Chains A and B, each alone.
Chain A
Amino acid sequence: MKFGVVVFPGSNCDHDCHWAVSHVLGQGAEYVWYQDRDLTGLDCIILPGGFSYGDYLRAGALVRFSPVMGAVREFAENGGLVIGICNGFQILLEAGLLPGAMMRNKNLRFICEYIHIRVERTDTPFTCLLKEGEVLKIPIAHMDGNYFADETTLATLEANGQVVFRYCSPRGEVAEEYNPNGSLENIAGICNSEGNVLGMMPHPERCCEALLGSEDGKKIFQSIVYHLSGVGV
């Protein structure tokens, strides 16, 4: 199994994602430079967090012109697994691989802290080892994580069950007071209608070891490995 971690100028969670899948999960992983166009031999592409192109213009906006994104799009269209985390999620939105947009957090400040998310779907490659309604303790760290979509898009997302994670209380209760950034319907992560592209604001790679305060993020990467190989890790 081989993960490809894309490195854009300004990516800063690339090392963390690499560490999580290679060191913690013991899977193969390699960095993919943003000017590469060849994703041969890779089973899952991770678009890591950070500030690609300094977030200039708009978070994630400039990346879609980089050479690797053409290859990522093709990879996704052929059913390959793509997970965008934080800035990676913003990139997927800007590149049109997922619907909707990110606005600035409702308090207009950067927020870094552990929060909780509820698992809404367990039939995706990213959540197949999780239980429906399971609560994950996981950190967020972003300035623009306030998910927005127009009413039609939102209705389609909900109807198709494309909302994968929602912000919630430690006990799984989804309510406005547990929404850190103002996202519509407490949305923390969505997938495309085929289910092979996931975008999420929280950082699973930051909580794969007990030492760091939570191991819940590991379950997401383990799900990917299980889905691809049919074997648990």
Chain B
Amino acid sequence: MQGSITPQMIKDHNLTMEEYQRIVEILGREPNLTELGIISVMWSEHCSYKSSRVHLKKLPTRAPWVIQGPGENAGVIAVDETWAVAFKMESHNHPSYIEPFQGAATGVGGILRDIFTMGARPIASLDSLRFGTLDKPRNRYILEGVISGIAWYGNCIGVPTVGGEVTFASCYDGNPLVNVFNLGLVRQDKIFKARAAGVGNPVIYVGSKTGRDGIHGATMASEEFSEDSEEKRPNVQVGDPFTEKLLMEACLEAFQHDWIVGIQDMGAAGLTCSTSEMASKGGVGIEIDLDKVPQREEGMTAYEIMLSESQERMLLVAKKGTESKVIEIFKKWGLDAVVIGQVTDDSLVRVWHKGEVVAEVPALCLTEDTPVYDRPQEKPAYLDEVQTLEEKDIPAPPDMKKVLLKLLGHPNIANKRWIYRQYDHMVRINTVVLPGSDAAVIRIKGTDKAVALSSDCNPRYCYLDPYLGAQQAVAEAARNVACSGALPRAITNCLNFGNPEKPPVMWTFARTVEGMAEACRVLETPVTGGNVSFYNETMGKGIYPTPTIGMVGILDRVEDRVTQGFKSPGDQVALLGENRGHLGGTEYLEFIHGKVAGKPPAVDLEYERRLHRLLVILAREGLLRSAHDISHGGLAVTLAECCISDETPVGAWVELKDHIRPDALLFGEDQGRVILSLSPENRGKVEVLAQKHRIPFQALGTVGGDTLTISWPQGKLESTLKELIETWNRGLTQWLEK
């Protein structure tokens, strides 16, 4: 099995000469081509986290309610004594740029497998999406493809897509981001892991047949794009949600019995990854015979079979003697299920093909012993320049209403209904807060509880200050969840960055992780897993640092849930927090003045923690009619959203007393603020509780009428609900509907 590996082959496998030397050392010989393929894919950035590992260690991962932290297919936290939720977020950026529909669809398929591999039934998805600006036709094409791909896969398999976020910036022109989150429900005593054990136990392949699709998908995700990237379309896998539905039901049925020892899905790096990870985690070896692998095409080589990323496949280890019963369940669901190998005691991944051993590699070489780099960092030159902002150089616009409408109609802020209407967001009948509020709320049947989910990141803030931006992303995600009445409990993340071999990119990555670590520590929301996506660069142009946060909160009583829209005329409008008029990094500054500049707003984490706990208590005491976090577009935009985002729109009169320049007061994005509405008789109680938590409370006005009126010391603006709604609704559709 000796081959002759040339320097060109090493380069084609995206390995450095030093890395190749290490491979030779570990093996004690030269690898053959199949082994080179296997090792190179496991050593790719995508699978090995070689540039990020040293930094990710800084993230807090533990809390009494965390059942499973990073290292498995998904993190798990407790909901009550019996139930837990498994959740994870992953990126599918590169495939979605090359082939938007299938790229996004298979992203959904992949994250769902991560969840049901844990033994959990997937019950809700979120999608955090970033596109280039909609004035460019190609970006509209990518958006349409991505949305319909997500819809096609999620709707067919019957897992609701209940929320997410969409933002637009030209840095995503050549690099859209598709970050997919899923959460599943699992009994605490029925959690499964990707661990092989028991020498002689059968290794069973289940699901779709293996084809030549997606070979080197993981390697593709570990390099920059160039002009000919579109030629990589054949590297993108093709999804089949119908087969995955059958696979999911069959796995969940098999898990009901005491037959399965360990299970791992075949995502990136397919059979290679699943065999080596299961062996390595279990401290055992795995031996498989490729002749037994169900194949879709003829004449596939060992190299191709091991590296195929054909979708909808799983590898499981069963207790010896139960294999026929396991196989019977998969057959019932019309799926292939074949014993292809067994667990061994030699800690090697050994691959047979046509009667010969074609690869024999220590499992650890593919997992734990992959290269780790502490890559050089350098503060990016652009930072000092962009952080400078002289507010006196920003002219105050004469007509604040015009500004409000312009922001409300910007695609970043506009109504996202055009998108979520294409997602089945109700199937499984658990969605008790539908898309369009700060967080989606999903009830847990058979209990009083619910989970609240939000995904957040403001990439502009992260560009202007990666450390602060990451803190803000965690704080905002927690605030969104708390606005729904749920206590923020844990996060998963998706860290999207440029090329880590460039020191300025590595510097922003390191600061991001530090900011996130600090925020997660103070807010008591540990990181239970996630994903790093580097090399988001096309022709040398990188994206904004985009650390997407997927936050999970627990609501003790589902009836206590709160939504963002104003409800009844006569209710009082109030503000938690303080208006300071921070202009740096705002939507206002970019979309009205064409400037991406200044420091992003500061985040007081201790204060945020108190604010979130206050919101949970107010919800539990039933004192809130609505609660809405102030974020993109500031106070005025948030008030408009409170008026128009509920099923029955209603106006409001608001009087602001702060002596701040009006544009900063109306559109500044100071953190830690929430707009409440409450029944007038509860005002006293709310004020007392706010005081107790040391959170400023300020009555702003009254709900009612069919206009939104906002006055401030120097003036006022008035806009009818009709014009607010039309502007907000048109923001996206004007680009997407002919």
Contact = CB atoms under 8 A, between A and B. Distances in A.
Interface string B660-692: 000000000000000000000000000000000
B151 A16 contact: no
Interface stretch (B35-43, B79-87, B240-248, B470-478): B240-248
B116 to A, nearest CB: 14
Contacts of B425: 112
Contacts of B243: 54
Interface stretch (A6-14, A151-159, A219-227): A6-14
A94 interface: no
A15 interface: yes
A206 B426 contact: yes
Contact of B427 (A10, A141, A213): A141
Contacts of B424: 110, 112, 141
A20 B558 CA distance: 18
Nearest to A49: B427
Given A9-B242, A9-B334, A54 B428 contact: no
A109 B434 contact: no
B429 A12 contact: no
Given A51-B155, A54-B156, A211-B558, A12 B240 contact: no
B707 interface: no
A113 interface: yes
Contact of B151 (A13, A54, A110): A110
A88 interface: no
A53 interface: yes
Nearest to A139: B426
Contacts of A23: 445
Contacts of B558: 211
Nearest to B434: A213
A203 B155 CA distance: 14
B426 A141 contact: yes
A113 B425 CA distance: 9
A12 B432 contact: no
Contacts of A112: 155, 420-426
B672 to A, nearest CB: 31
A178 interface: no
Contacts of A19: 429, 445
A211 B432 contact: yes
Interface in A138-162: 139, 141, 143
A10 B421 contact: no
A103 interface: no
Contact of B156 (A55, A206, A212): A55
Nearest to A14: B158
B429 A212 contact: yes
A109 B148 contact: yes
B431 interface: yes
B90 to A, nearest CB: 22
A124 B595 CA distance: 64
B641 to A, nearest CB: 19
Contact of B241 (A51, A139, A143): A51
B443 interface: yes
Interface of A is mostly: mixed
> Interface size bucket, A side?
20 to 34
Contact of A111 (B241, B334, B421, B427): B421
Interface string A185-222: 00000000000000000010110010111000000000
A60 interface: no
A54 B420 CA distance: 21
Contacts of A15: 428
A111 B420 CA distance: 9
A112 B162 CA distance: 11
Interface string A103-136: 0000001111100000000000000000000000
B244 to A, nearest CB: 10
A56 interface: yes
B157 interface: yes
Nearest to B450: A211
Given A54-B240, A110-B155, A110-B422, A9 B427 contact: no
B333 interface: yes
A50 interface: yes
Contacts of B155: 51, 110, 112, 141, 143
A206 B158 CA distance: 13
Contacts of A13: 158, 427
A233 B406 CA distance: 52
Interface in A93-109: 109
Given A51-B242, A54-B240, A54-B242, A12 B422 contact: no
A25 B152 CA distance: 32
A50 B422 contact: no
A209 B445 CA distance: 12
B333 A9 contact: yes
Nearest to B154: A110
A13 B156 CA distance: 11
Contact of B242 (A10, A16, A205, A206): A10
Contacts of A53: 242
Given A16-B428, A141-B424, A51 B246 contact: no
B587 to A, nearest CB: 27
B156 A109 contact: no
Interface in B404-435: 420-429, 431-432, 434
B233 to A, nearest CB: 23
Given A54-B241, A54-B242, A12 B426 contact: no
B157 to A, nearest CB: 7
Nearest to B431: A212
Nearest to B152: A110
Contacts of A205: 429
Contacts of B334: 9
Nearest to B559: A211
A12 B245 contact: yes
B245 A10 contact: yes
Interface in A23-50: 23, 49-50
A49 B424 CA distance: 12
Nearest to A17: B429
Interface in B592-619: none
Given A109-B422, A212-B431, A9 B246 contact: yes
A47 to B, nearest CB: 15
B429 A16 contact: yes
Interface string B238-270: 001111011000000000000000000000000
A12 B427 contact: yes
Contacts of A141: 155, 424, 426-427
Contacts of B156: 10, 12, 51, 54-55
Contacts of B429: 16, 19-20, 205-206, 209, 212
Interface in B217-248: 240-243, 245-246
A182 to B, nearest CB: 15
Contact of A16 (B245, B333, B420, B427): B427
Nearest to A15: B428
Nearest to B161: A112
Nearest to B156: A51
B249 to A, nearest CB: 9
Interface in B168-221: none
Closest 7 CB pairs of A and B: A12-B158, A54-B242, A51-B156, A141-B424, A16-B429, A112-B424, A110-B422
Interface of A: 9-10, 12-13, 15-16, 19-20, 23, 49-51, 53-56, 109-113, 139, 141, 143, 203, 205-206, 209, 211-213
20 contacts: A9-B245, A10-B246, A16-B429, A20-B429, A51-B155, A51-B241, A53-B242, A54-B240, A54-B243, A55-B156, A109-B421, A110-B422, A110-B424, A111-B422, A113-B421, A141-B424, A143-B155, A206-B429, A211-B559, A212-B429
Given A54-B245, A55-B242, 11 more contacts: A9-B333, A9-B334, A51-B158, A53-B242, A54-B243, A110-B152, A111-B421, A112-B422, A141-B426, A141-B427, A213-B434
Interface of B: 148, 151-152, 155-158, 240-243, 245-246, 333-334, 420-429, 431-432, 434, 443, 445, 558-559
